[in-house]
Homo-oligomer: A and B are copies of this chain.
Amino acid sequence: MTIHCRAMARYTGRIDAELGLSDVVLIIKDDGAVVLHSMQAGVNPRNWMPSATEMDVIPGGLRFHHAKRGETLEVFIEQEYARIETEPSLAGDLVKLGAEREFGDLLAADVERIEKGMSLISREYRTPAGPVDLFCHDRQGNPTCIELKRVRVTLDAVWQCKRYLFHLQQMEEWQGTTPRGILVAPSLQKTAGSALVDEPHMSFVRIRYEDLEGARTRSALAKDP
């Protein structure tokens, strides 16, 4: 159900928030999620409630309550412009192509793209410091942790990769080798670059999703399959 109205709203839960009188669209979804959008600006809603919220009618408006999470949203409706109920709402699938998952798939299938002689050992290789996106051997047989970022490599990612190397260095299995780290992304944050400078066994390789073999061609959206 959606209600177009002039209303004010008050949220109490993880914070306290109050929305002054506004023209809004209030969307109450089938699963109990609630979204309140202003017509003014921005992609994000002004207020919302998570799934499984219960609705009650209160004097002057509606009250949404999520007991388990201790959150409440009250919407005081001054004037209602329209109310639309779409009963058996149809819901098609949403297919997404090009997110990091696929970026990883394509790179995993062609790790030599990252460096000549590289060979994939494991995907999401578990270490005490967290999962390594692509765990490889380089040409010389050195264990190599490859960290992928769809957008850019941040300082955090550099340190995370350093932690991977630190753990490999501790492991008996890799004694006598030189653990390496390679950060792969379309761009590199400045501070991350500085941090990489004095890491002899770590490097950055710039790869854009579009440059990968097969990018968006196996796509369900492709016009000529």
Residues in chain A within 8 A of chain B (CB atoms): 2, 4, 6, 8, 10, 14-23, 25, 27, 29-31, 33, 35, 37-43, 45-51, 81-82, 84, 86, 89-99, 128-130, 155-156, 159-160, 163, 191, 194-195, 216, 219-221
Contact = CB atoms under 8 A, between A and B. Distances in A.
Contacts of A17: 94-97
Contact of A29 (B33, B40, B219): B40
Contacts of A81: 84, 86
B8 A92 contact: yes
Given A22-B91, A23-B89, A43-B45, A14 B84 contact: no
Contact of A19 (B86, B92, B156): B92
Contacts of A31: 40-42
Contacts of A43: 33, 35, 45, 48-51
B90 A22 contact: yes
Q: Is the interface of A mostly helix, strand, loop or mixed?
A: mixed
B95 A18 contact: yes
A4 B6 contact: no
A37 B35 contact: yes
Contacts of A22: 89-92
14 contacts: A2-B2, A2-B39, A8-B92, A16-B219, A17-B94, A18-B94, A20-B94, A22-B90, A38-B89, A42-B51, A43-B48, A130-B191, A156-B156, A159-B159
A12 to B, nearest CB: 8
B191 A97 contact: no
B30 A37 contact: no
Contact of A155 (B33, B46, B130): B130
